[in-house]
Amino acid sequence: MRRYNRLSLIKLTLPVFFGYIAIGIPFGLMLVKNGYPWWLAPIMSLTMYAGAGQYMAVGLFASGASFGAIAIAQLLLNIRHIVYGLSLIEKFKDVGKWKPYLIFALTDETYALMTTTPLPKNESPGIFYGTIALLNQSYWILGSLIGAIAGTLIPFDFVGVDFALTSLFAVLLIEQVKNSKDFIPPIVGICSTIMCISLSRLGFISVDNILIFSLCIGIVCLIFANCKKEYR
């Protein structure tokens, strides 16, 4: 790819750079705070590269959640990528050997850039989209590495760092509600969570299974609400 296009793609991905650095640093700090070695942060970001999924994994492992709960939570958290993938079939048709990496490196921000940035004339789709994905992942790795090293070498007050995941999901929730104007999913999620926490305190379900039960109840309620809406 020509030098001009490389510089253009760096400029194009700058908003992602600032966002990933800002969110990646708290992830690295959170990982170290929970007793994991600093080098695990870049390894997770290199091999897992899931953003919110990495936050969730560290938080759930630290809280002693069961493997089943973590697996289901990760599946439901990232199930939107099925829709992303289906909508990119045409774009990825001619990307060649880049396709496996593009599938792996697909994030919300990368998807947004791929779907809103026109392919330059006479450019290879694989190199163009692959460079975008590669730059974005490098930003995330850098942010998590900075946070992990800082948390290891510098005396740091970790109070509030573990709230980064909660704040991240809160922002995503607000943006989704603003865009969709649909208040039913968050209301169902809040109600199902409160109900499962109450059932846990009454001894009907274990603390480790609160997440699984709340997710299952929420999904069933949303399916029922959607079917009822279509029936009308």
Q: Is residue 174 assigned to a domain?
A: no
Q: Residue 221 sits in which domain range?
A: 182-231
151 and 82 within one domain: yes
31-90 pLDDT, tens digit per residue, is 998 889 999 999 999 999 988 889 888 888 877 777 777 888 788 778 778 878 888 888
Last residue of one domain, picked from the residues 136, 163, 190 = 163
86 and 28 within one domain: yes
134 and 64 within one domain: yes
197 and 143 within one domain: no
Give me the DSSP letters along 31-63. HHHTT--TTHHHHHHHHT--THHHHHHHHHHHH
Of 170, 120, 174, 110, give the one whose Cα is nearest residue 140. Answer: 110
Rounded Cα gap, residues 103 and 85, in angstroms: 7
65 and 16 within one domain: yes
Q: Whole-model pTM?
A: 0.73
122 and 33 within one domain: yes
Q: Which residues contact residue 37 at a Cβ distance below 8 angstroms, ignoring those fewer than 6 apart?
A: none
Rounded Cα gap, residues 177 and 60, in angstroms: 26
157-216 pLDDT, tens digit per residue, is 767 666 665 666 676 667 667 766 777 878 888 898 899 899 888 888 887 677 778 878
| Number of folded domains that form the chain | 2
Q: What pLDDT was estimated at residue 3?
A: 42
Rounded Cα gap, residues 147 and 139, in angstroms: 12
CB 52 within 8 A of CB 172: yes
27 and 126 within one domain: yes
Q: What pLDDT was estimated at residue 168?
A: 60
